[in-house]
């Protein structure tokens, strides 16, 4: 294992200190318990938007804290859920009197801990709603979930919902919007290589030089099938077909197309994937109205990518275009 480390046990805390030093105008970091919160929190009268999960998926979630997106993020240890006491303190830190929305990726540990944190926060007088994101069409259940995993749609939900909260929408409206984004989004990922969790020191799984795994999760959990490596056009066809047929997406739809790198894939390959996706959708009369290409929900240094399609309406499109200023995503602000 070759990584930039001091002590593997200190990786998350050391990284959070660096994030605070690099982006002090956008966010603050609390280390005990650990959470990343926007610099001006809490904002009086504004719905707080909280998300979180295991570390190793950067820039998600801490990199999306700031104006127009998340108010606070809870980072767990690498690929490990944050604890309820973290989430409770983070919830209280962004409660401006209008309640707090928890955006939860569907992984069993995250769901259970978020539920416990929400109950504890309600006991302390904070109104909390929670929405579970479950957009991955690859498998119905996985090593870490009952039901579909929550993956790329989380990024899109955090941006769109964060913009609605920034406009002053109330908690029920923001939560309904988050559920609508989840209902209209579908994703699938694939891997060319494994990643190595620093505390383990060995690759999570083995893939031959001529193999790929289709439908893999963001922790290296198994996908639909392991196959000989194919051309990018054929790989995109496999993934996009599963996504389009699942909702289903239809001729005339306008979508936000998100091509995400898993951490070890260069941008030149991600743009190639986007072009193949554009070609695939054009043949089905599906229009890409908005796009996002880059590494936004990663799996440490894993090579591979994921595709997410979101069926847009006018409100989602307007909120996607609204200003955002975070470490990992920014425009218009």
pLDDT score at 274: 98
Q: Give residues with Cβ within 8 angstroms of 37, minimum separation 6.
A: 27, 28, 29, 30, 65, 71, 72, 90, 93, 94
pLDDT score at 222: 78
User: Per the residue annotation, which of 23, 57, 61, 102 is the catalytic one?
Assistant: 57
pLDDT score at 120: 98
Q: What is the mean pLDDT of residues 243-256?
A: 98
CA distance 162 to 172: 14
Q: What is the mean pLDDT of residues 287-302?
A: 98
- Is residue 246 scored above 80 in pLDDT? yes
Tokens of 267: 């941008």
- Is residue 145 scored above 80 in pLDDT? no
The string of pLDDT tens digits covering residues 193-231 is 999 999 999 999 889 999 999 999 998 787 889 999 999
> Active site includes 23?
no
**CA angle centred on 159, ends 155 and 165, rounded to 5°:** 135
Kindly indicate the confidence band of residue 6, based on its pLDDT and cuts at 50, 70 and 90. very high
- Is residue 146 scored above 80 in pLDDT? no
User: Per the residue annotation, which of 23, 61, 102, 219 is the catalytic one?
Assistant: 219
Specify the residue for token string 């002590």: 7
- Note the Cα 73 to chain centre separation in Å: 11
pLDDT score at 223: 81
Higher pLDDT, 219 or 310: 310
71 DSSP 8-state letter: S
- Tell me if 51 sits within 8 A of 73, measured CB to CB: yes
Kindly indicate the confidence band of residue 1, based on its pLDDT and cuts at 50, 70 and 90. confident
What number of other Cβ atoms are within 10 A of residue 109's Cβ? 17
pLDDT score at 224: 85
Kindly indicate the confidence band of residue 141, based on its pLDDT and cuts at 50, 70 and 90. confident
pLDDT score at 10: 96
Q: Give residues with Cβ within 8 angstroms of 171, minimum separation 6.
A: 47, 98, 99, 100, 101, 127, 129
**CA angle centred on 36, ends 30 and 39, rounded to 5°:** 90
- % of the chain at pLDDT higher than 90: 93
The string of pLDDT tens digits covering residues 153-179 is 999 999 999 999 999 999 999 999 999
pLDDT score at 280: 98
Supply the mean pLDDT for the chain. Answer: 96
Higher pLDDT, 77 or 140: 77
CA distance 186 to 243: 6
Kindly indicate the confidence band of residue 21, based on its pLDDT and cuts at 50, 70 and 90. very high
> Active site includes 219?
yes
DSSP assignment string, 121-167: HHHTT--EEEEEE--B-S-SSBTTBSSSPP-THHHHHHHHHHHHHHT
pLDDT score at 283: 98
- Is residue 5 scored above 80 in pLDDT? yes
What number of other Cβ atoms are within 10 A of residue 7's Cβ? 9
């Amino acid at each position: 294992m070759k990584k930039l480390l001091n002590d593997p046990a200190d990786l998350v805390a050391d990284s959070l200190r660096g994030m605070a030093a690099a982006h002090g105008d956008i966010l603050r970091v609390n280390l005990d318990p650990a959470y990343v919160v926007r610099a001006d929190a809490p904002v009086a009268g504004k719905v707080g938007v909280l998300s979180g999960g295991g570390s190793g998926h950067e820039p998600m979630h801490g990199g999306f804290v700031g104006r127009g997106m998340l108010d606070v993020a809870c980072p767990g240890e690498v690929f490990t859920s944050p604890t309820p006491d973290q989430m409770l303190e983070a919830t209280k830190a962004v409660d401006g009197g209008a309640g707090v929305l928890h955006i939860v990726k569907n992984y069993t540990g995250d769901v259970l801990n978020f539920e416990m944190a929400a109950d504890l926060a309600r006991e302390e007088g904070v109104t909390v709603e929670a929405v579970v994101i479950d957009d991955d069409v690859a498998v119905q259940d996985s090593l870490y979930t009952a039901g579909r995993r929550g993956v790329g749609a989380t990024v899109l939900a955090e941006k769109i919902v964060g913009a609605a909260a920034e406009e002053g929408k109330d908690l029920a409206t923001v939560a309904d919007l988050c559920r609508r984004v989840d209902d209209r989004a579908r994703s699938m990922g694939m891997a060319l290589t494994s990643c190595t969790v620093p505390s383990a020191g060995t690759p999570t799984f083995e893939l031959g030089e001529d193999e790929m795994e289709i439908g893999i999760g963001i922790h290296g959990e198994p996908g639909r099938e392991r196959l000989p490596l194919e051309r990018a056009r054929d790989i995109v066809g496999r993934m996009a077909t599963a996504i389009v047929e699942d909702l289903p997406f239809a001729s005339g739809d306008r979508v936000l197309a998100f091509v995400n790198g898993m951490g070890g894939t260069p941008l030149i390959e991600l743009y190639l994937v986007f072009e193949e996706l554009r070609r695939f959708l054009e043949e089905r009369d599906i229009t890409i109205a908005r796009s996002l290409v880059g590494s936004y929900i990663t799996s440490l240094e894993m090579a591979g990518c994921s595709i997410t399609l979101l069926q847009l309406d006018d409100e989602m499109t307007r909120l996607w275009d609204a200003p955002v200023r975070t470490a990992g995503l920014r425009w218009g602000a």
